[in-house]
Every structure is written in structure tokens, then in C-alpha cells.
Structure 1
Amino acid sequence: MNGLSFKELCCLFCCPPCPSSIASKLAFLPPEPTYSLTPLADDSLKYTLNLTERSEWQHTSRELEYIEVFVCTTSTSRNNKIACMYVKTSPSDKFTILFSHGNAVDLGQMSSFFVGLSTRINCNILGYDYSGYGASKGRPSEKNMYADIDAAYQVLLSRYQLSPNHIILYGQSIGTVPTIDLASRREVGAVILHSPLMSGIRLAFPQTKRTCCLDVFTSIDKVPQIKSPVLVIHGTDDEVIDFSHGLAIFEKCPRTVAPLWVEGAGHNDVELYSQYLERLKRLIKTEMVAS
């Protein structure tokens, strides 16, 4: 999420053309693409991943073998083709994470993190780029985000033949918005909400207590419909999405596991704390089995 000045917020909410315009101005900052996909000549369904210097790749070329990239063979419900990245570091992985990344990054920048995370927690990962990000077509919007994650979810069901209870939804920052929306409509193995926000207006105006017709990303109203176990992760010193958002989301979820409140962590460094990986491993190894 990006910060706006008081003047910009006044212009945005006092004279808004529509809620979707608010969402676009408030949330979406697609970066200059850090990768490209080249279709193989002998197979139109397979692609080669080409990373630029901006992707910040931190692993060896051998580890690229863990990554499969492709474009959804069917468009989303809003007629956009989205790019996907499937990371498989172990053939025995039981669960797969459907990862909705944060703002201002794309799959190229997330690739290194995906490989490292998959290796450390022994779990496959399917990442995707929102419409207008990376190699995905279309433009960023709230409605497109919901269509994008639906398409990625269908990839796991059809292409990889996964059952819903073997899918873990993971949303980070703005990525918690489509994650919560999907989880409120589908049963999955578990849901991880990393630095979630209650809603757009509540983020801009912290004193807001109720949802109004101009609000966007109204996750706080959807979490009560989530039937799967939910792990909420938030840094107590988050300077972008205040810690109070994580607390409120946690309190609204009807079926939660013990949250991870990372003392002293901000918005972009929770993963650097040792308890982060430990908590994810516990969810996958014990709490997923128990659920």
C-alpha cells in the first residue's frame, strides 16, 4: 500500500468518481516488469522464464529447475490472461501455497523468496501476478484481483489435480484482499493473512468504525464467512498497515489458530525474524493435520 498526503486523501474521498477509482489510486503500484515469459516453440503451454537484473535473484541457475512458469490457458472471468509461477522443491510436498503477493512487486522479484520459502517449509508454492502486473494482461483493479485469484485457484484444481484441503491460501498486505475474498467463498486447508488490512477507508482514516458505500477492499466484512483455520501474522511496528488491523481481522475470524505477532517488526521485515518460519512449519506439520 502506498502513502497519500492529506490533500490527496481529501480529493480521493470527498469527490470520488467511484469506489473502483479509489482502489486504483490507493493501492496499485505495479512495478516495471522484472521478468518476461518466452513460449517454447515446440509446446505453446510451456514458457521460459527470463529474469532481469531488477528481479534480485539470489539463487543458483540450478535452482531455476524448481520453477515452472506459464500463462493460464483460459482467461479470467474478466477476460485477462495471468502469469503464474509454480515452485516445487520436493516431490513429497503434501500441501501447496497459493501466494498473493504484496504491492509494487511482481513474480520476478518474488521468485527468490518463493524458492527459499518452499525449501525451508517443505511446501509447494503457486504465485501469480495480478492483472497489469508483470506478464499478466489487463489493468489492476479490485474486481480483477478477485477474478485473478479464482483463475489461479482453478489452476491448482485442474492442472495439478489438488484437492481443496491441500491448498493453503497465503496473502501478504494487499494480497490479503483477494485471499480473504476467495477464502470466504471456498473451503481450503488453511489461510495465512500476513499484514492484513480491514478496508481501504479504515486504512486511510483509522477512526472509521463502519463500512460505507465508498469503501474498498472490505475484508473485515468477509472474514466471518471463512470456514478454514486462519493464521494471522503482523508486525507490531508496522508503519504501512497498523497492527490494529491484524488484531481486528483476527478477532473477526471464526476459526483461528494462534496468531504470530512479531514484536518490533515493520511491514516488510517480518520474514527476517526466526519465529516466522517456525510458525509456518508448525501450521503445516501439526495444525494442518489436526484440522
Structure 2
Amino acid sequence: MGGVTSSMAAKLAFFPPNPPSYKLVADEMTGLLLLSTFPHRENVEILKLPTRKGTEVVGMYIRHPMATSTLLYSHGNAADLGQMYELFVELSIHLRVNLMGYDYSGYGQSSGKPSEQHTYADIEAVYKCLEEGYGAKQEDIILYGQSVGSGPTLDLAARLPHLRAVVLHSPILSGLRVMYPVKKSYWFDIYKNIDKIQLVDCPVLVIHGTADEVVDCSHGKQLWELSKEKYEPLWLKGGNHCDLEHHPEYIRHLKKFVLTVEKPPSQRYTGSRRRSTDQQLLPPRKSTDIVFEASRKSTDRREKPRHSTDKALPPTDVNKLLLKSNSNNLSEKLEKLKNQSNYAEKLRVSFDQVERSRRSVDCCLEKSRKSVDHQLERGRKSVDRIRTG
């Protein structure tokens, strides 16, 4: 029953280009595999990878000399490596990353038939090649899933706890939810991303077009809401399902994301995460603080409650102390003002006394001056009379 259901789902979900957009050819000089429609590049390697399902998938590895991250790209439906080639080269250049793209079983020149389980085996084989063939570490790998590629991407990401990051490009909540607004996951549904996103521990970037007519933008928004470590999403206004790469914001935002996740976790600023106002105001804690905090909590569990002065005061007692403290401060201030007022009053009295003394002296001097003037005037008149007589 499960096989029949999976086969029916495959017919509805997978649309490999027919015919494929490329053929595999061997270079006459080197014997290296090439895509028939593209010339040989020194930094591009084409390879075939066996999977645990018994198929062989075609992969394309692009090396960048300055790369510190490797992007594992799972492309969308109705596409193959021949159609994705130029975009992969551009992404590697602009993002400064090594890039591995591949065709699912039954796509391009990969053998087998497409199915959900085959895509899981396909991405596992490609990831194993990155680790064993190119020395990539889990901590340096960014998984990128476009549309139906979000299925194998999240299935693998949920099982790798130390990934650098995940990018979901026009992702789906599940295969059935693309067609029907169901509220729960059914056993016969494929790519239950809505359940697996909650198991991903690394930063997640979601990119979705607001005018997507194939997979509604609500799929991307709900996956972003369910992510543990959110990065600032990119909702491209007017963007459809297959044209997001042509928007200038696409490459700018993606480049910013890659630069951010390449920093140590303590130095990242994931505008993408929604933080409370209090968390934004608090300075970031150092790793040592976190270790000490964990140690403190563990010792707190072992200790019995302490009943001495370490016990926190209830709010009412705190208020009483604050009121008492404020009252004491107010009394001190009033006492100072009172002393200053008394001092000023004393000064005013002293000044009044000086002023009265000055006025009395001025009055005496005025009287003495008038008396002298009067006597001099009388003497002058007496002399004048004597002269006249």
C-alpha cells in the first residue's frame, strides 16, 4: 500500500525535464566528465555518485579559491543541472562559496525514477561525497533547498545538529498542503517539512515571493515561524515561483546571510531572530558567563533553601525601606534648608543693624556740618558789619 501511495505521489509531485537539457560527455584530452552544452572550466568538476538505493546521481562541484563555506543546493521541480549551471557558477562567485549541485534520481542524466525516498538517498550520497571527497565539515556546510528541494534539504538538516545554516527558497509545508489546506500531517503525505523544521538547530533563512502561484507565500512564512533559529526572511514583493533570482534583493540578502553565518556564533547578529525589547537592550553574554550560569544553576539545585539574610525581601518590605530612606533624605534636606534659612535671617538682621548705625552716623554728621556752616555764616556777617561801620 505504501509503495502504491508513494508511486502516485511521485507522479503528482515530480516533473523532470523531458528530454534532459544536457548529456554527459567525456573530454577527449583528460577523460573528465562534462555537460555537453558547456565548455570545460578548471574549477568545475562533474561526477557520478552511487546512492544506497542503487541509483547513480550526477553532481556538479564548483570550487572557489576564497571559500570558507560549501553550499549544497537541491534544485526545484522541472529543472536539471543543465538549466541550473549558469546560476550555480554565479552563486559561487558572488557568495564566495564552494557549491555542490546535483540531479535527483530520474532527473537529467541521473539513473532511476524520482520518488521521495530516492531524493533522501540522493542528498545523503552528495553530502557523503562532500565530506569524504572534498574534506568539507558539517560545520562549514549550508544546505539550500528550492521548492521541492526543501524536502530532502530539511530531512537531512533535521539529522545534522552542527550544520552552518539552511536556506529555504519557495519551500513547501508538505506535498499535500500545496494542494489542500489540511491541518494535520497524514501518513501518505510526502515531504512533511512542517514537522521536520522544528528539529533544525542552525540558522534558517526563508526566501519566498509574495505573488507565488505555485506554492503560496504562507508556506514560507509558517516554516519561518516554526524555525528555532530565525534569520531575517526575504519576502520578495511581486516575486513568483521561478523568478526570485532575478530580483536584486535576492543576491544581496543571500550574501549578507552567508557572511553572517560564517562568523563565530558569539559575533553573529541575526536580525532574523525576533527578540524581546529587554533582550535587545541587554549586552550579549560571553561564553564564560553562560558556563558559569549553568554551573550556578546546577549548584542551586543541590543546595537547600537558605533562610538567613540571603532570602529576598518581599515587595512590601522593599517599599517600606525605600519610603524610610526617602523620608530620612527628606528630613536631612529640610534641616539643611532650615539652617540655611536661619543663617540668612541672622545675616539680614546684622545688615539691618549696620544700616541703622550708618544712618545715625550720617544724621550726626549732617547736623554737625549744618552747625559749623551756621556758625561760619554768623561769623562772616559780623565781619561784614564791622567793615561797613
For normalisation by structure 1, the TM-score amounts to 0.85
Structure with greater helix percent: 2
Indicate if the aligned counterparts of 2:61 and 2:99 stay in contact, CA closer than 8 A. Answer: yes
Amino acid at match of 2:45: E
Q: Which has the higher strand share?
A: 1
What's the CA shift string for 1:74-129, capped at 9, x where partnerless? x21111111000112x3121111000000111101110111111111111110010
Question: Measured at CA, do residues 17 and 96 of structure 1 come closer, stay the same or move farther in structure 2, by a change above 3 Å?
Answer: closer
Pairing 1:253-268 to 2, within 5 Å after superposition: 253-268=227-242
> What's 1:102 paired with?
76
Amino acid at match of 1:30: P
RMSD: 2.0
Residue 23 to residue 285, structure 1, CA distance change in 2 (3 Å): same
Aligned to 2:121: 147
Distance 2:2 2:178 in 1: 17
Residue of 130, 136, 150 corresponding to 1:176: 150
Q: How far apart are the structure 2 equivalents of 1:237 and 1:145?
A: 28
Tell me which amino acid in the other structure corresponds to 1:205: Y
What displacement does 1:23 show? Answer: 2.2
Once the two structures are superposed, the pairs formed by residues 25-64 of structure 1 within 5 Å of their partners are 25-31=11-17, 32-39=19-26, 46-51=32-37, 61=39, 64=41
Contact 2:69 2:262 (8 Å CA) reproduced: no
Q: Given residue 237 of structure 1, which amino acid in structure 2 is its aligned partner?
A: A
Alignment of 1:1-291 (within 5 A): 18-31=4-17, 32-39=19-26, 46-51=32-37, 61=39, 64-72=41-49, 75-88=50-63, 90-187=64-161, 188-206=163-181, 208-291=182-265
Q: What SS class does the counterpart of residue 159 from structure 1 fall into? A: helix
Structure 1 unaligned blocks of 5 or more: 1-14, 52-56
Instruction: Give the Cα–Cα distance (whole angstroms) in 1 for the partners of residues 126 and 108 of structure 2.
Output: 15
Greater relative contact order (Cα < 8 A, sep 6+) = 1
Distance 2:29 2:90 in 1: 31
In the TM superposition, residue 39 of structure 1 has moved relative to its aligned partner by 4.1
Cα offsets for 1:161-210 (capped at 9, x unmatched):
0111111100100011100100001131100000010111111112x111
Alpha-carbon separation, structure 1, partners of 2:175 and 2:260:
34
Residues 94 and 166, structure 1, Cα contact 8 Å, conserved in 2: yes
Q: Tell whether the 8 Å contact from 1:96 to 1:124 is kept in structure 2 after alignment.
A: yes
Contact map agreement 2:68 2:262 (CA 8 A) in 1: no
Q: Is 1:18–1:214's contact at 8 Å kept on the other side of the alignment?
A: no
Cα distance per residue 1:35-90 (max 9 Å; x no partner): 2223467977x413312xxxxx7xxx57x333210111xx21111111000112x3
CA–CA distance in structure 2, aligned partners of residues 17 and 91 of structure 1: 45
Helix, strand or coil for the counterpart of 1:82?
strand
Q: In structure 2, how many angstroms separate the alpha carbons of the residues matched to 1:248 and 1:21?
A: 28
**Aligned-partner SS, 2:263:** helix
Q: Which residue of 1 aligns with 2:341?
A: none
SS for the counterpart of 1:181 is: helix
Name the aligned partner's letter for residue 224 of structure 2: F
Matched residues, percent identical? Answer: 43
Per-residue CA deviations over 1:199-249 (Å, capped at 9, x if unaligned) read 11111112x111112211111111111111110111111110001100111
Task: Give the SS at the match of 2:221.
Answer: helix
Unaligned runs of 5+ in 2: 266-389
